[in-house]
Amino acid sequence: MLVGYARTSTLEQEAGLEAQIRALTALGCEKLFQEQVSSVGQRTALLGALEFCRDGDTLVVTKLDRLARSVTHLGSILSELETKGIALRIENLGVDTSTPTGKLMLNVLGGVAQFEREMMLERQREGIAKAKAAGAYKGRKPTARAKAAEIKALAAEGLSMAAIAARLGIGKGSVHRALSAKPDHQNS
């Protein structure tokens, strides 16, 4: 059985969802699961599709990004499908994991995507290092440490950690750290 899965991120993408449903129906999907949710949100229709599929079925999506949010996520979905004897078909890539060539192609595409992500992260790290060397990248300013004296003064007045945190606009954990910190000459 061909089982279709369609997803868009927002309600404004109604036309995109309808187009996916039309395509999946035209491909012969007998059962359709659809949802409008971000790829990082709780995807109940995807979980439903994975639960519905049985040995010998094929899960069909129009595009890879409709199914998985990352290479790792794709790997976990593929592992679950393989364990249950279910193939995956990604229409716009012409990939069908029911064939050895389809499995190879998906692994190659996943490897290329992982490589591109690692290259992007490397370029990002290089840019940050260059900005730091030029003095243009400072990072986030410490908030609670700069308010340590104020925190201790409010605590001496008898305010609770929650009250201090609320008054200064910082977290209770930051208040706790400031109150339990050793004086600077004892830190070494």
Same domain for 90 and 7, yes or no, is yes
Question: Pick from 62, 81, 99: which residue ends a domain?
Answer: 99
Range of the domain at 34: 2-99
- Is the pLDDT at 113 greater than 60, yes or no? yes
Residue 34 in tokens: 């659809």
Whether 186 maps to a domain, the answer reads no
CATH number, domain at 42? 3.40.50.1390
Whether 88 and 157 map to the same domain: the answer is no
As a whole number, mean pLDDT of residues 182-186 equals 58
* pTM score of the predicted model: 0.60
Question: Is residue 134 in some structural domain?
Answer: no
Do residue 93 and residue 10 come from a single domain?
A: yes
Which pLDDT belongs to residue 120? Answer: 87
Clarify whether 39 is annotated catalytic. Answer: no
Which residue of the set 9, 79, 180, 188 is catalytic? 9
Pair (10, 74) in one structural domain? yes
The pLDDT of residue 187 is above 50: no
- Residues 86, 157, single domain; the answer is no
Digit-coded pLDDT (tens) for 116-162: 878 988 999 998 889 888 888 777 777 777 888 899 999 999 999 99
The pLDDT assigned to 60 comes to 97
Query: Would residue 104 count as lying in a domain?
Result: no
Domain count, the chain: 2
Which of 53, 51, 63 shows the shortest CA–CA distance to 8?
63
* pLDDT given at position 181: 80
- Are 95 and 152 within one domain? no
Residue 80 is assigned to a structural domain of this protein: yes
* Residue 22 domain flag: yes
pLDDT of residue 51: 95
Residue 152 to residue 87: CA distance in whole angstroms = 62
